[in-house]
Amino acid sequence: MAHRIVHPADGDEAVAMLSRATRTLDTPNQYRLFDADRQREAYDSGRRRPAWTWQALDEDGTQRGLVAGQGAGDVCWVLDLIDLPPDDPDAAVALLRAAADELRGQPEPVEVALSCPVSDDPRDHPEVVRLDSAIRDAGFHHLADRLRYEVTVDQHPLRLPTTLTLQKVAPDDPWLLELMRRIVMGSLDAHQRHQLRTMSDADVARAELEFMVSAEGPDSLHLALDSDGHVVGLVQFAVWPDGRGCLAFVGVPEDQRGRGTAGRLTSLATQALLKQGCETVIGDTDVGNVPMRRAFESVGFRVTESRVDYVWPTP
């Protein structure tokens, strides 16, 4: 069956398309992704755009699928709102390929992120098997399985004892690039390891910082200092428009690892977000990043869902 792939004319039309889409996975983030009011705010703010939204129509003009991404500036970072027809795998693949083809010329390659029910192997879920097949048939490669952690104020996150302090740092601070380069070295993060296959550690550090600032803003970065004023890590956190706190990044240089620093930084950042009025704090890490999983769990975070990440193959 022939399909037309089209973009909505504006945000209102995009939200109307979303109202006709079907959510097939039961996770907290999937509910948010398919919530029209939340997505209207995303289109109004520019995090989502009509140009980053693709609709598949059949010969009768009936919507057969929908894919939408989000990003900032000129870069769509991730395709994360995914409705692929279960009875038409060709349309599913065509929809994803159309998105990938249109975004191939942007400075950073787009990724796919699929929120799934909690599992250390989320691709065993029957619906994820179907979606995974379409995503890979469209040309994307599996990169990592991740876990979404969450803690609420009612769960009384632990305040771990520490002499460490956090200090805001400007993105152009001369300390920052070298600190990030030291964090990237020996990283367990699958995205950073993937970048290091084709980029130097300095270039990966620069790209990571640029992404972090564009994602959460320049005021979200904090140096971690010990009692002597030495820098022992970098933390990024911010309050999202929906009021949740996001612990976006916890980084410890290779020579500071193995001392429980990540857990103490997670605790400090969580307490800072709670003081700003957040009732829920979230964070993600790779299934294989055991030290960061332990850091979340040491503060009282619980896993609420999984996520499968895909990347476009490196030339």
| Predicted confidence (pLDDT) per residue in 243-294, tens digit | 999 999 999 998 888 889 999 999 999 999 999 999 999 999 999 999 999 9
pLDDT at 144: 96
CA distance 295 to 291: 6
What are the b/e assignments for 210-246, b being 16+ CB within 10 Å?
A: ebbbebbeeebbbbbbeeeeebbbbbbbbbeeeebbb
Residue 205 CB-half CA count within 13 A: 21
Strand partners, 149: 283, 303
140 backbone φψ class: left, alpha, beta (φ>0; ψ -120 to 50):
beta
Give Cα 143 distance to the centre of its chain. Answer: 13
The C-alpha atoms of residue 222 and residue 230 are separated, in whole angstroms, by: 13
What is the structure's pLDDT at 74?
A: 87
pTM for the complete prediction? 0.93
Which residues, given as ranges, of the chain have pLDDT below 70?
1-2, 314-315
Q: What's the pLDDT score for residue 315?
A: 62
**Token pair in block for residue 231:** 């820098």
How far is the C-alpha of 239 from the C-alpha of 278, rounded, in Å? 7
* Per-residue confidence (pLDDT) for residue 95, from 0 to 100: 93
β-bridge partners, 117: none
Is 251 within 8 Å of 180 (Cβ atoms)? yes
Q: Which pLDDT score is estimated for 165?
A: 95
CA gap 128, 24 in Å, rounded: 9
Residue pair 309/132 in contact (Cβ under 8 Å)? The answer is no
Question: pLDDT at position 148, please?
Answer: 97
